């Protein structure tokens, strides 16, 4: 009985955390977009950030939050965030 309860609790926490985590990725995307629109960057850097942003959005849409976080963090690094 205890194992079943623990499994149910874990599943509930994962179900609750996933939308919250995805929401934080949406905020991350918005922050990157805002930085891109307000910063003067070399064209090569701007293109790299835009490509990473597109990839992050795609990964988020596919439900691959961990990889999206990794990719969007790379974009933030390029922007000095």
- Find out whether 73 and 53 touch, Cβ atoms under 8 Å: no
The pLDDT of residue 17 is: 45
pLDDT under 70 in the chain at which residues? 1-23
**Whole-angstrom Cα distance, residue 42 to residue 38?**
13
Contacts by 57-62 with C-beta closer than 8 Å and gap 24+? 57/29, 60/22, 60/25, 60/26, 60/29
The pLDDT of residue 3 is: 53
The pLDDT of residue 30 is: 93
- Find out whether 52 and 71 touch, Cβ atoms under 8 Å: yes
The pLDDT of residue 16 is: 44
Q: Estimate to the nearest angstrom the gap between the alpha carbon of 11 and the chain centroid.
A: 22
């Amino acid at each position: 009985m205890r194992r079943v309860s623990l499994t149910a609790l874990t599943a509930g926490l994962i179900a609750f955390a996933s939308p919250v985590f995805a929401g934080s990725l949406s905020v991350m995307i918005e922050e990157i977009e805002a930085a891109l629109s307000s910063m003067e960057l070399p064209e090569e850097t701007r293109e790299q950030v835009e490509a990473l942003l597109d990839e992050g959005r795609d990964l988020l849409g596919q439900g691959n939050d961990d990889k999206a976080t990794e990719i969007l963090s790379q974009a933030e690094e390029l922007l000095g965030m």
